[in-house]
Structure 1
Amino acid sequence: MIDGLVGGRLYGEAQIRTGQNGKRFVTCKVRAATNDGDTIFVNVIAFDDEVQAALLALGDADSVALSGALTPKVWTDKNGLVKPAIDMVAHRVLVAYRGEE
């Protein structure tokens, strides 16, 4: 497990989901800039109620910083190009208008 901090902009809207055990969680995507000017997508899942509430209050393209457990991955786009991605289990969130959750 890699513990990390990611800053970027929400890509789309956060979504409420329910697991097989009946527990609610929230998923979203964050678009983060890399050093070379490209972007990387971070697939975020949040189980903590306060983190979920903060993510659900955000809209598309709102700025957000998240800390949590990171897992690097790759995916293939519709043109067959392999691209990097990151999965994150978010434990804390910082948004500009609310302060730390």
Structure 2
Amino acid sequence: MIDALIAGKMYGQPARRTSKNGRDFTTAKVRCATGDGGSFFINVICFSDTAGAALLALGEGDSVALSGELTPKVWTDKTGEARPALDMTAHAVLTPYHVNRKRKSIQADDDGDGPQQPRAGRWGRAQPQQSKMDPFADDGLGDLP
């Protein structure tokens, strides 16, 4: 398996399914462009409820980016010709909706009165780092001319 990040457009409608043991999962097909002007399909399966819900909110032709484990495979078509295939077990989904929501959130934080002020981090205000190195300590290089 290969850890991968892919981007493409939804092909068809994603579907929610239930396995024989009662576990829910989501399947989808994504069409990705290649560098030579062609395209290929990636079969996607997703076991995460959050990522699955994001996929189910999309329709055919919607842009999507997926992160997960990519597995190359080969299948045989009706004429007996071997064709490449890619299967992905998706762990995370990013859609234009997520990007727009994040942008709006950032813009809402900016009051428009000038440049944004740095925000305090999780542990309070960021403080400049103080060097603990003595500037006059012997560096072991000897005296310089």
| Fold similarity call, TM over 0.5 | yes
Work out the CA distance in 2 between the residues paired with 1:77 and 1:32. Answer: 20
1:79–1:37: structure 2 CA closer, same or farther, 3 Å change rule?
A: farther
CA deviation after TM superposition for structure 1 residue 60, in Å: 0.4
Compute the TM-score of the two structures, normalised by the length of structure 2. 0.64
Identical residues among aligned pairs (%): 59
Root-mean-square deviation (Å): 1.5
Alignment of 1:55-94 (within 5 A): 55-94=55-94
1:60–1:37: structure 2 CA closer, same or farther, 3 Å change rule?
A: same
**2:101 equivalent to 1:98:** no
Cα deviation 1:54-80 (Å, max 9, x = unaligned): 000000010000000010012233444
**2:7 equivalent to 1:10:** no
The worse-fitting range, judged by mean Cα deviation, of 67-76 and 53-62 is 67-76
The worse-fitting range, judged by mean Cα deviation, of 30-39 and 80-89 is 80-89
The worse-fitting range, judged by mean Cα deviation, of 73-82 and 43-52 is 73-82
Work out the CA distance in 2 between the residues paired with 1:78 and 1:37. Answer: 25
The worse-fitting range, judged by mean Cα deviation, of 85-94 and 68-77 is 68-77
Structure with higher helix content: 2
The aligned counterpart of 1:29 is: 29
Which amino acid is the alignment partner of residue 83 of structure 2? K
Structure 1 unpaired stretches of 5+: none
CA deviation after TM superposition for structure 1 residue 82, in Å: 2.8
Work out the CA distance in 1 between the residues paired with 2:81 and 2:62. Answer: 28
Structure with higher strand content: 1
Give the secondary-structure state (helix, strand or coil) at the position aligned to 2:15.
strand
**Which protein has the larger Cα radius of gyration, Structure 1 or Structure 2?**
2
Work out the CA distance in 2 between the residues paired with 1:23 and 1:33. Answer: 32
